[in-house]
Amino acid sequence: MQIKVKEDCFYKSDKYIDLDAIFSLIKERQHAWIDIDLEELSKTLWYQELGKRDKDDLKRFTIASTRKIKNKLTINISEDNVSPNTFNIIEAKIYLKQPLSILVENSQYETPFINSIIRNFDFESEINYAKEEGWLVYENLGGGNNNAIEGKINESFNHPFLTKDKSEYLRTFVIKDSDREYCSISEDGSTVSQQQLPPHKISYFKERNIPYHIWYKREKENYIPNSVYINYETDNVKKEYVKAYLRLNNHQMDFLDIEKGFSYFDKESNIVKVKDRNELKPEIKKLYCNISEDDYKILGLGFSVKYQNFKVNFSNEFATVSRDDMLSRINHQTRINSIHDEVERNEFDHIIHEIKRLL
């Protein structure tokens, strides 16, 4: 993250300890100080009380401070200027010391997927370095709800010098499953429309100005490349499902419930059954209308009947997939236009860009 420290901060001697704490974060490279006016700083008591090593560091930071990163989030620090984009010194210290929390629905299952995106799409390894330094952590969102965020808001940021709404002090990026069940494809196949998300899916984040991303596909399993499935074609247990799955088109793969298929638990017979096609939502029925009855029954029972400990083990398949394999599952998707720089990116590049902006 980039910070601008207004000159008024350096004339508040009672806040020098807090300024020193922020300066320590700069020295450790967790954040970058931009637009440093060393000539003005050298007139302050804060600068005069610095040791030689700190002064040498500050000179180097001053030179680097002119090289701002356009798309990096920047915060202002001031004791006098109260505005939505500005923190006082103590607010800034508390805010900046936090690691960036990547909040996912289940960190055990989601982490291999996010790590694979980072490994294959962050060429500078900035995010991985932040993870190693403890500046970025994964946390559980609390399933489909937002319990973890509510907990942070309710239990944190109680210092008397914190004057803003508590949600403004969060350093989080939320990534959630879309739970979309289908897309709509035009008759000529030229356009694809996403299933609209229910308002409650994103309203919580919009109301609190919390950065978030909702996956285009149903959930993370829908991003597993075909190369992983191909490796199972010789597996006697899995091959029947795999062959049926590989006959699907990209859009059908995107929204299939890979774990459970089209199944339900029949309480009377106490067994899992596949729904009759006519019981499906019309949009789902239309999306999968061209698959054979045999494939429908195989896919309908879900992959979890063939794959032990599906949720844990299938997620680990992301550990070795290549960039090209991952791209093969999203190349057909519409690119995302970032609201921060209006640049269109594929979904994985978009994720990398958004995380780096917040670091």
Residue 297 tokens read as: 């029954």
Closest CA to 354 of 118, 76, 179: 118
Closest CA to 7 of 89, 94, 93, 91: 89
Q: So what's the pLDDT on residue 144?
A: 64
State the maximum Cα–Cα separation within the chain, in Å, rounded to a whole number: 83
In this structure, are 212 and 105 located in the same domain?
A: yes
Residue 253 has pLDDT above 90, yes or no: yes
* Domain end residue (candidates: 96, 113, 134): 96
Residue 245 lies inside a defined structural domain of this protein: yes
Question: Does residue 31 sit in helix, strand or coil?
Answer: coil
Per-residue pLDDT reduced to its tens digit, 211-239: 999 999 999 999 999 999 999 999 999 99
Residue with tokens 């010194």: 89
On whether the CB atoms of residues 93 and 21 are closer than 8 A, the answer is yes
Closest CA to 179 of 148, 210, 201, 146: 201
Residue 264 has pLDDT above 70, yes or no: yes
In this structure, are 163 and 201 located in the same domain?
A: yes
Q: So what's the pLDDT on residue 237?
A: 94
Residue 263 tokens read as: 């199944």
87, HSE (Cβ side, Cα atoms, 13 Å) = 23
In this structure, are 208 and 237 located in the same domain?
A: no
Measured from the Cβ of residue 28, the count of other Cβ atoms closer than 10 Å reads 10
Q: Which domain holds residue 263?
A: 222-311
Output DSSP code: residue 334: P
Per-residue pLDDT reduced to its tens digit, 24-61: 999 999 999 999 999 999 999 999 999 999 999 999 99
Sign of the dihedral defined by the CA atoms of residues 316, 318, 319, 321, in that order = positive
Indicate the pTM of the whole model.
0.94
d(CA 16, CA 24): 12
**Amino acid at the residue 56:** D
Q: So what's the pLDDT on residue 147?
A: 81
pLDDT band at 181 (very low <50, low <70, confident <90, very high): very high
Residue 318 lies inside a defined structural domain of this protein: no
pLDDT band at 341 (very low <50, low <70, confident <90, very high): confident
Residue 167 tokens read as: 């949600």
In this structure, are 139 and 37 located in the same domain?
A: no
Cβ-count burial of 258 within 10 angstroms (0-12 exposed, 13-18 middle, 19+ buried)? buried
Residue 317 lies inside a defined structural domain of this protein: no
Whole-Å CA distances, 236 to 104, 143, 226, 239, 252: 34, 34, 18, 6, 24
In this structure, are 71 and 47 located in the same domain?
A: yes
On whether the CB atoms of residues 88 and 18 are closer than 8 A, the answer is no
Per-residue pLDDT reduced to its tens digit, 277-333: 999 999 999 999 999 999 999 999 999 999 989 988 999 999 999 999 999 999 999
pLDDT band at 126 (very low <50, low <70, confident <90, very high): very high
* Domain end residue (candidates: 43, 64, 96): 96
d(CA 7, CA 27): 19
- Sheet of strand 212-214: strand arrangement: 136-140, 100-104, 172-176, 212-214
264 pairs with which residues across the strands?
Answer: 273
Residue 256 has pLDDT above 70, yes or no: yes
Q: So what's the pLDDT on residue 8?
A: 95
* Domain end residue (candidates: 67, 96, 125): 96
d(CA 351, CA 114): 9
Domain count, the chain: 3
Q: So what's the pLDDT on residue 143?
A: 64
d(CA 247, CA 302): 15
Residue 157 has pLDDT above 80, yes or no: yes
On whether the CB atoms of residues 165 and 130 are closer than 8 A, the answer is no
In this structure, are 37 and 129 located in the same domain?
A: no
Q: So what's the pLDDT on residue 235?
A: 93
- According to DSSP, the β-strands at 271-274 and 32-33 are unpaired
In this structure, are 121 and 136 located in the same domain?
A: yes
Residue 321 lies inside a defined structural domain of this protein: no
Q: So what's the pLDDT on residue 85?
A: 80
